[in-house]
Structure 1
Amino acid sequence: MICPRYWIAPALAGCLLAPSVAQAEDEPIVVTGRGLEQTPATPAYDVVRIDRERITATASGRIEDLLSSVAGFQQFRRSDSRSSNPSAQGVTLRALGGNATSRALVLLDGVPMADPMFGYIPFSAIAPERLGAVRVTRGGGSGAFGSGAVAGTIELTSANAQELGLFSGEALVDDRGETTLSGTLAPELGQGFAVVSGRWDRGQGFWTTPRSQRVPASAKAKYDSWSTSVRAVAPLTDDIEIQARGLLFEDNRVLRFAGALTSASGQDASIRLVGRGDWGFEALAYVQARDFSNTVISSTNFTKTLDQRRTPSTGLGGKLELRPPVGEAHVLRLGADLRIGQAELQEEGYNTTGAVTVRRRAGGRNTDIGLFVEDDWTLGPVVLTAGVRADRWTIREGFLRETNAAGTTVQLNNVFADRQGWDTSFRGGAVWNAGGGLALRAAGYSGIRMPTVNELYRPFVVFPVTTRANAALRNEELRGFDLGIDFAPSPAVTLSVTAFTNKVENAIANVTIAANTRQRQNVGAVRAKGLEFGAALRLGTVSLDGSLALTDAEVQATSTQAALDGLRPAQTPKIAASATLAWRPRPGWTLSTTLRHVGAQFEDDLQVDSLRAATTLDAFVELPVTGPFSLILRAENLTDTEIVTRNQAGSIDLGIPRTLWAGVKVRVK
């Protein structure tokens, strides 16, 4: 059955279910559920790929744990999505630092996942069991990905029906009585397939406060989160398919003190057309509705000081890419993309008696329209690539308004001037396949990141430190270069090393301006240079995957920020390493361990408060029992290493202690 393009919405179910006459006469239509294929010059950049076998074998079952196996990946804090504030889940690479906003671009089936207000990634909504592949490109250069990739790009690709099986699910419990329950139904329907998936995580949590610092108001990091995803893929013609996806999620946590509640929720939808004919194309549109709330509890009198009760935000966008037929030696990409983010903060401040003293509203609207062109040229063993991108950005409708408790007296009413401009960026590279599995590569790139609505207009408190917003923030601008060697003498051995230098000018950081007071400011630059090593060995039933990043990063600043000059950016370690050893003696069996090390880093910009290095050991076991059932055993932080995730003048937060899981997995093909 061939569905006309103008029947896209009403005909999706029909395309899934109807039999195809053409299938009996010609080759069967192959529906992948993925975007266009990668171009020949993709290996010119520093790319790490993670397959489904590794994705589904993490000790915590959480996506940030998986991504941590790529050395250089980091969140703003070391906490995972059970015990951190969601707004601190910004992602960066290459020790470029940050202020809880993502400097890396994270895409799920081509859709940017960053929150439209804060720029954080809703990790608890991205279940690893729904994914088929992960590709991490370290080093910036937005190109055809979209704007914002100053530290790199993380592409998450959903699994298809064959990878998932007709039904799969897990039920696990840990030694604290916390539970994880997930299930996925993925039937093949006619020429296409559908996927319905749900996951629910809840638990009493662990103590993030050291025993010596606990008070009667201290509380465990309780969490309760769920997400559900619906996806459908169907052919429209022999070489065009339609992909639709919806995602709903909610995440509730308690942080440090009783009553310190934080919540994040979202409703996302996207639709994508992919054409794989002579004129390849990809057309994507998406909408995101997100919300966030946060209650701040004083660490001195343990009463509510701030209630960020709502932060509604909306993200709208899309992308169109064309690949015209220009000959076998070239792959030409032409396209445009759009990203609109609008958000508003609604919060109340309280005094020690519990009375409201101030009501605050803040928000704005950011827009980015990008145009790009990129060409790959294959010349025998050499592949060249070059591309340019132009972004038209606007920052509009910014405001900050404060009134008294009754709303009758305006205490502050700032309306900020609209701004707009054009920025251009480029990326280019070359890879020489020298033979014998040896490839030499080089790449140069630039990119931009707009400040988020949060950075521009929303002040916040991590008691006792107040961080002010800054409506005058400028765009971050990246320049970087890579040189690399990849060596794969056989399918069983892959080795790589990359030397890089990256510099982010106008880097946005939380800068100390007074005692217990910081402000988001553009510093002169953050420069990072270093080496990244990777290794993958496949020796029969045994595999080893390793990653090591050695990075020297420093802030370059003058004038009023001169005290920062030469210091390492906050929250950036010099060394990060990960190694996973796995044994799969037969199909369905997995025994693996992961050793991970993160070097010492500083909590703050002035390098006053330090976070010591941490080395952890995780384990994962899957053993078939009978029929479709398997036993799952997982262990996080087996050595019970004390992981310091926050140090505010000696006030400490800790990460996950030793945690043991057991449960059952079922998979029906």
Structure 2
Amino acid sequence: MLLYRRSLTSIAALGAIFPLSVAVAQSPTTVTDENAPIIVTGKGLRETPGTPAYDSTEIDRQQLTTTASGSIEDALASVAGFQEFRRSDSRSANPSAQGVTLRALGGNATSRALVLLDGVPMADPFFGFIPFNAIVPGRLASMQVTRGGGSGPFGAGALAGTIELTSADADTLGPFEGEVLVNDRGGTQASTNASAHLGAGFVTASGSWDRGDGFWTTPLDQRVPASAKAAYNNWSAQLRGVAPLSDTVELQARTLIYDDRRTLRFKGADSSSSGQDASLRLVGHGRWQFDALAYVQARNFSNIVISSTRFLPVLDQRNTPSTGLGGKIELRPPVGDDHVLRLGMDYRKSIGELYEDAQSAFTGAITARRNAGGANTDLGLFAEDDWTLGALTLTAGARADRYTIRDGFYLERDAAGALLTSESYPDRAGWQGSFRGGAVWHLGGGVKLRAAAYTGLRLPTLNELYRPFVVFPVTTEANAALKNERLVGYEAGLDFAPTDAIKLSLTAFDNRVDDAIANVTVGTNLRQRQNIDAIHARGLEASAQLGIGRVRLDGSLAYTDAVARGSGAAAALDGMRPAQTPQWAGSATLSWRPERGWVLATTLHYVGAQFEDDLETDVLPAATTLGAYIQLPVAGPVSLVLRGENLTDATMYTRNQGGSIDLGVPRTVWAGVKLSL
């Protein structure tokens, strides 16, 4: 708890610095040349010439802000290969299940893909899940998704790929934008953005609030008096300022706070997730380019587990405070027009512990009090060079990570406080190297050939190491002896973009995660997190963007042949498809913007059949959903907004444990107004 309080102090210190960035924006004395043009981007350094060697796609603001649900996951679902651990969205899933991966390298609820917001890793320091409800699409300018592992800043978390989110600047947001909608079940969704130019810089402020009684996740024939709708109530607020320190250097500051509360399946099965983040970033666009970032995060989580037979609380995960601390420094020295050299280091520390009470399903009395936690650190050193040789660009990078897994412990006491179990786990540390390299050959006429190979690293999270959990009646045990996951991958692709209106891409890949962490069945209603030999995924990813006048089609399709390799205690899953992994997934969005302010868009999502568990005993059938977004100008800056989720009311299984079913969102219709000044 002392470390947790210190993290709050650090956040307060960063928050106190925030107004300085605004003051700097108004101070002309900080500018080295009054006549030099000052361009404040609010972004990091530009991508390098070798970036296209790796399979990547960009989601622009148009796509981000016109989804049927208004959520960031809906926009991500349009990317071939994107996958959450469960199909539930962030209104009807337990927050700790919101792990993100790419290329069917899933299998548990921890993110194998790195998610960055303005350069800051967003994964929860304890669990590794992504707080999707805190990431509001209307605040963003764009999102770039790079599939496959590799080196670079915070590369130790980019096992399956990287999702980079960039906040919008003042010009993009405008002076004021607000939106309020209500759905056919009485749920509401409200968001607002305000921005202003201050000197040569700008400041933006935004807020959002979503609430609703939710829908029945339990099928009608399985409901009991204790069943409950998936109610939700969440809000978030962000304040961001960008200011020039000179004609080539800018300071960026951001604070984000959020609170997310949900109910799942039964009355009293409540969860909460909250966070307070702050970051400072210096970006230099001069001859010696640099990007220096520091951040601090304070997060917490709670969850009550209800028995599915007696419908009384059996576990109260009442408090899970965690802290994330870190930063990076990247330098790009001038080494000639043909080379872009990147040198740098990054650091991340995750500290957390859980406090939970086990309760009797018969009396409700506390039977055990548990406390567990630890600290993980990763210090990475990286170097990368892009070399342009006419139409050919070569890129190569190396990374060395010094990791530690320390201070792990598990305590259990009885209701009276008497110590029952006390375990302290040995500290571990080591160095691991990662490499990546690739080539891009521009053939002319918008045709590019590319190829890449890479390795990657992911440390087990504090959650995987020390926290058992229950999705009643199945208990999953933690494992303090888990090893790091290692990725080896290869890919080759073809891009065709003869004009801005036509963009086609096809990629073949072969990725293997050695010592993959999976929830392995070890007994009746009992699983344990274990390192299995590997998860091997091979497949194809295709995407297309076609524009004809004011009509645009965006589509993606992913086929993945994924197989688990296990021996010893995990021998039973050898040769099986990893849990929660579909073979086929696809998305297509057709949009029409007949006039300024008008938007008509419809999106089709398909996800193939997948297995609930590692032994392929329970199936989640394939599902196809149809969504729509309509924006109609009414008068001046006011527009009518209509949205529809799952308009065909398709049945989507999100959980199937021995025939006990959870369902995804049914048909939902939204209507509201939008004001843009």
Letter in 1 for 2:127: F
What is the alpha-carbon distance in structure 1 between the residues aligned to residue 153 and residue 230 of structure 2?
40
Does residue 632 of the first structure (1) align with residue 632 of the second (2)? no
TM-score normalised by length of structure 2: 0.96
Contact 1:221–1:254 (CA under 8 A) maintained in structure 2: yes
1:390 to 400, 413, 426: 400
What is the alpha-carbon distance in structure 2 between the residues aligned to residue 165 and residue 580 of structure 1?
26
Structure 1 segments unaligned to the other structure (5+ residues): 1-6
What is the alpha-carbon distance in structure 2 between the residues aligned to residue 113 and residue 364 of structure 1?
19
What is the alpha-carbon distance in structure 2 between the residues aligned to residue 285 and residue 256 of structure 1?
40
Contact 1:207–1:219 (CA under 8 A) maintained in structure 2: yes
1:366 to 371, 376, 395: 376
Structure 2 segments unaligned to the other structure (5+ residues): 1-15
Does residue 567 of the first structure (1) align with residue 576 of the second (2)? yes
Q: What is the aligned partner in structure 2 of residue 159 from structure 1?
A: 168
Residue pairs, 1:331-370, within 5 angstroms: 331-351=340-360, 352-370=362-380
Letter in 2 for 1:250: D
Q: What is the aligned partner in structure 1 of residue 103 from structure 2?
A: 94
CA positional deviation for 1:14 = 2.0
Residues 75 and 652 of structure 1, relative CA distance in 2, 3 Å threshold: same
Residue pairs, 1:63-82, within 5 angstroms: 63-82=72-91
Q: What is the aligned partner in structure 2 of residue 379 from structure 1?
A: 389
1:497 to 501, 506, 509: 506
Contact 1:248–1:267 (CA under 8 A) maintained in structure 2: yes
Letter in 2 for 1:392: R
2:180 to 171, 176, 191: 171
1:190 to 188, 199, 222: 199
SS of the residue corresponding to residue 156 of structure 2 reads: coil
What is the alpha-carbon distance in structure 1 between the residues aligned to residue 529 and residue 30 of structure 2?
61
Deviations, residues 278-323 of structure 1 (Å, cap 9, x unaligned): 1000000000000000000000000000000000000000000000
Q: What is the aligned partner in structure 2 of residue 599 from structure 1?
A: 608
Residues 431 and 462 of structure 1, relative CA distance in 2, 3 Å threshold: same
Does residue 622 of the first structure (1) align with residue 641 of the second (2)? no
Does residue 448 of the first structure (1) align with residue 457 of the second (2)? yes
Q: What is the aligned partner in structure 2 of residue 429 from structure 1?
A: 438
Contact 2:53–2:438 (CA under 8 A) maintained in structure 1: yes
Contact 2:65–2:137 (CA under 8 A) maintained in structure 1: yes
CA positional deviation for 1:557 = 1.3
Contact 2:31–2:244 (CA under 8 A) maintained in structure 1: no
Q: What is the aligned partner in structure 1 of residue 159 from structure 2?
A: 150
Residue pairs, 1:546-561, within 5 angstroms: 546-561=555-570
CA positional deviation for 1:19 = 5.3
Letter in 2 for 1:279: W
Letter in 1 for 2:229: K
SS of the residue corresponding to residue 202 of structure 1 reads: strand
Contact 1:143–1:427 (CA under 8 A) maintained in structure 2: no
Letter in 2 for 1:44: A
What is the alpha-carbon distance in structure 2 between the residues aligned to residue 114 and residue 284 of structure 1?
17
Letter in 2 for 1:539: I
Deviations, residues 448-471 of structure 1 (Å, cap 9, x unaligned): 000000000000000000000000
2:300 to 291, 312, 319: 291
Residues 8 and 378 of structure 1, relative CA distance in 2, 3 Å threshold: farther
What is the alpha-carbon distance in structure 2 between the residues aligned to residue 104 and residue 653 of structure 1?
26
Q: What is the aligned partner in structure 2 of residue 51 from structure 1?
A: 60
SS of the residue corresponding to residue 15 of structure 1 reads: helix
Letter in 2 for 1:387: G
1:225 to 234, 238, 243: 234
CA RMSD across the alignment: 1.3
CA positional deviation for 1:17 = 2.7
Letter in 2 for 1:410: L
1:402 to 408, 412, 436: 412
What is the alpha-carbon distance in structure 1 between the residues aligned to residue 107 and residue 406 of structure 2?
23
Contact 2:402–2:432 (CA under 8 A) maintained in structure 1: yes
Residue pairs, 1:232-381, within 5 angstroms: 232-351=241-360, 352-381=362-391
Contact 1:543–1:582 (CA under 8 A) maintained in structure 2: yes
1:589 to 591, 598, 601: 598
What is the alpha-carbon distance in structure 2 between the residues aligned to residue 403 and residue 20 of structure 1?
62
SS of the residue corresponding to residue 187 of structure 1 reads: strand
SS of the residue corresponding to residue 147 of structure 1 reads: helix
SS of the residue corresponding to residue 463 of structure 2 reads: helix
- Work out the percentage of aligned pairs sharing the same amino acid: 65
Contact 2:31–2:245 (CA under 8 A) maintained in structure 1: no
Deviations, residues 188-217 of structure 1 (Å, cap 9, x unaligned): 111000011100000000000000000000
What is the alpha-carbon distance in structure 2 between the residues aligned to residue 52 and residue 183 of structure 1?
16
Contact 1:20–1:191 (CA under 8 A) maintained in structure 2: no
Q: What is the aligned partner in structure 2 of residue 112 from structure 1?
A: 121
What is the alpha-carbon distance in structure 2 between the residues aligned to residue 582 and residue 500 of structure 1?
30
SS of the residue corresponding to residue 606 of structure 1 reads: coil
Residues 414 and 502 of structure 1, relative CA distance in 2, 3 Å threshold: same
Deviations, residues 235-283 of structure 1 (Å, cap 9, x unaligned): 0000000000000000000100000000000000000000001100000
What is the alpha-carbon distance in structure 1 between the residues aligned to residue 43 and residue 589 of structure 2?
28
What is the alpha-carbon distance in structure 2 between the residues aligned to residue 128 and residue 649 of structure 1?
37
Contact 1:92–1:98 (CA under 8 A) maintained in structure 2: no
Q: What is the aligned partner in structure 2 of residue 3 from structure 1?
A: none
Residues 509 and 540 of structure 1, relative CA distance in 2, 3 Å threshold: same
Q: What is the aligned partner in structure 1 of residue 13 from structure 2?
A: none
Q: What is the aligned partner in structure 2 of residue 85 from structure 1?
A: 94
Contact 1:15–1:191 (CA under 8 A) maintained in structure 2: no
Letter in 2 for 1:371: L
2:656 to 639, 642, 647: 647
Deviations, residues 320-368 of structure 1 (Å, cap 9, x unaligned): 0000000000000000000000000000000120100100000000000
What is the alpha-carbon distance in structure 2 between the residues aligned to residue 257 and residue 201 of structure 1?
21
Contact 1:186–1:196 (CA under 8 A) maintained in structure 2: yes
What is the alpha-carbon distance in structure 2 between the residues aligned to residue 327 and residue 446 of structure 1?
28
SS of the residue corresponding to residue 186 of structure 1 reads: strand
What is the alpha-carbon distance in structure 1 between the residues aligned to residue 289 and residue 500 of structure 2?
31
What is the alpha-carbon distance in structure 1 between the residues aligned to residue 467 and residue 153 of structure 2?
30
CA positional deviation for 1:558 = 1.7
Number of aligned residue pairs: give it: 661
Residue pairs, 1:31-42, within 5 angstroms: 31-42=40-51
What is the alpha-carbon distance in structure 2 between the residues aligned to residue 477 and residue 395 of structure 1?
16
What is the alpha-carbon distance in structure 2 between the residues aligned to residue 506 and residue 74 of structure 1?
20
Q: What is the aligned partner in structure 2 of residue 4 from structure 1?
A: none
SS of the residue corresponding to residue 216 of structure 2 reads: coil
Residues 10 and 263 of structure 1, relative CA distance in 2, 3 Å threshold: closer
TM-score normalised by length of structure 1: 0.98
